[in-house]
Amino acid sequence: MIEELQLRVTLKEEERSDILVIKSAQALNIDKEDITGVKVLRKSIDARKAKIIFNYKVAVYIREMLPKTSDYKFDYKDVSKAKFIHIIGFGPAGMYAALRCIELGFKPIVLERGKNVQDRRRDLRAINQDHFVNEDSNYCFGEGGAGTYSDGKLYTRSLKRGDVRRIFENLVFHGATDQILVDAHPHIGTNKLPKVVQNIRETILKYGGEIHFETRVTDFIIKNNKLQAIQLLNGEEIPVNRVILATGHSARDIFYLLHKKEIALEAKSFAMGVRVEHPQHIIDTIQYHCEGHRHELLPAASYSLVQQVNDRGVYSFCMCPGGFIVPAATANGEVVVNGMSPSKRNNLFANSGIVVEIDVNRDLHKYEHFGALKGLEYQKNLERMAFTAGGRSQVAPAQRLTDFVEGKLSIDLNPSSYQPGLNSAPLHSLLPKLIGSSLRKGFQAFGQKMKGYYTAEANIVGVESRTSSPVCIPRNERLEHPQIQGLFPCGEGGGYAGGIVSAAMDGERCAEAAIVGL
């Protein structure tokens, strides 16, 4: 017999390894010896009050053995001689599109501009230490895409776009911890993701797919509104039938190429701002109502904040407890910051993007002459400003949080996890008014919601500009571009996802759509 229960466990009770068996036996009014196992289905922490509670949803197995294998099966088959589909980009959308193609009996041929995860590390080191950006291999481009080095958060609100559980189970199948199936806000960790990504690559190759790294697509050959071939940087032309375009939100060369060829694009609203960094113990103290170090059973505390400022949303984005701020530029001459956390989230700092909604229809009148690329050009201007204000390297402009709100230059800055370094800069006057003013009011409101959040011990670092794509590549109900037959815009780069899980689900959907009629 299997019974599902909701259990509440105090922090003190959580210290006992057998507490779930004891609580289950009490709830079911049975002897605990009758329980052969307790499987945790969901786990979350309620820290809204001083008495912290662990909430569990469990399946209690009574005189019945726990299953040893997952209910999910991935029917990968040999596709080495099957009809092929080309996939441009090998981030979450491209990876899951390729895996789904194999399940459906089609051969994926993946073209990725960047390097594999192992070789990619050298280019990341060059950004951090030498301030040199390889425009094809960086924190955004390369095997696994931006997700590989951005914490591996798997939380999504896109529950109607596909089977979220299936995405999680596939990650576990490829080596992720099964804890992601349980946690309310699951993450894998930057240190663990590269191995998972490598295992996905090996699955694709094992079953007959192809993956070509350091292979940048530079042109689309189109005849009679049908995609005929793609051209590579080396001049090679590859005949194609169906192409899933999963290049990510930072592949600006693709947006420029489509725009130049007069292929329909649409400007899309997005968000920009800064990244704020606190000592982790400050966030722990606020969220867990504690003094000193948090309890060893509690993870590094996170937060989620939102405030309306003059009918404009200001909110936290990609919060990384126990994490690092990293340089996410994709070209020299720009500074972009992002955050990531290792699996243990054991760094001394907590960081989060704090961003302001940008409405492309009302906020960017000075950029109207750029048409569908007006949001992209606005992004670029702020990133160039950050590059100049930082000192024309990957050093980032920064300010103490209180100085930013009060409008004064910081005499000095707090220690930071950002490896290239920080330069004190007047971000309060450098940021556009619609962003700077909204951020200042937002930070003040956040300080009211979280006592201790508004502090001189926090830095703000500029700029957080790659929250999502500022361009949408339209598609019809068949997920195909309405103008170009055979082109399937996909994932974050197309404007149809916002994170690893939603991008993966969209990749699967595009694979299912692309095979129709082949």
List, for residues 485-511, the tens digit of each pLDDT value. Answer: 999 999 999 999 989 999 999 999 999
Express each pLDDT in 3-62 by its tens digit: 999 999 999 999 999 999 999 999 999 999 999 999 999 999 999 999 999 999 999 999
- Tens of pLDDT along 193-239? 999 999 999 999 999 999 999 999 999 999 999 999 999 999 999 99
pLDDT at 158 over 60: no
Rounded to whole angstroms, how far apart are CA atoms 320 and 418? 13
Q: The tokens 């200001």 sit on which residue?
A: 314
pLDDT digits (tens, 9 = 90+) for 376-425: 999 999 999 999 999 999 999 999 999 999 999 999 999 999 999 999 99
What's the rounded Cα separation, in Å, for the pair 34 and 178?
26
Distances (CA, A) of 70 to 97, 183, 479: 22, 17, 31
Residue 8 neighbours by CB under 8 Å, 6+ apart? 53, 54, 55, 56
DSSP state of 146: G
Write the pLDDT tens digit of every residue in 429-480.
999 999 999 999 999 999 999 999 999 999 999 999 999 999 999 999 999 9
Mean pLDDT, residues 324-331:
96
Query: Per residue in 228-260, pLDDT tens?
Result: 999 999 999 999 999 999 999 999 999 999 999
Angle value at C-alpha 11, between 9 and 15, nearest 5 degrees: 90
**Least trusted range by pLDDT, from 91-100, 145-154, 304-313, 383-392:** 145-154
Which run of H or of E encompasses 58?
Answer: strand 53-62
Measured at the CA of 468, the angle between CA 471 and CA 359, to 5 degrees, comes to 65
Closest Cα to residue 278, out of 355, 354, 353, 351?
A: 351
- Hey, which residues does 133 pair with through a beta bridge? none
- C-beta of residue 372 within 8 angstroms of C-beta of residue 267: yes
Q: Which residues contact 477 (CB under 8 A, 6 or more apart)?
A: none
Pairing between β-strand 53-62 and β-strand 2-10 as defined by DSSP bridges? antiparallel
Cβ(340)–Cβ(150) below 8 Å? yes
Q: Which of 52, 21, 15, 27 is nearest to 39 (CA)?
A: 21
Q: For the chain, what is the mean pLDDT? A: 95
- Name, in order, each residue with C-beta under 8 angstroms of 375's C-beta and a sequence gap of 6 or more: 267, 268, 269, 270, 358, 360, 364, 367, 470, 471
Q: How far is CA 144 from CA 109, 150, 185, 394, 474, in A?
A: 15, 10, 21, 23, 24
Strands lying side by side in the sheet with 53-62: 2-10, 53-62, 35-46
Domains and CATH numbers, the chain: 2-62 (3.30.70.2700), 84-263+484-514 (3.50.50.60), 267-464 (no CATH)
pLDDT for 285-302, tens place per residue? 999 999 878 999 999 999
pLDDT at 473: 98
Among 190, 442, 401, which residue's Cα sits nearest to residue 309? 442
User: What percentage of the chain carries pLDDT values higher than 90?
Assistant: 90
pLDDT band at 150 (very low <50, low <70, confident <90, very high): low
* pLDDT at residue 177 tops 70: yes
pLDDT, residue 335, reads: 98
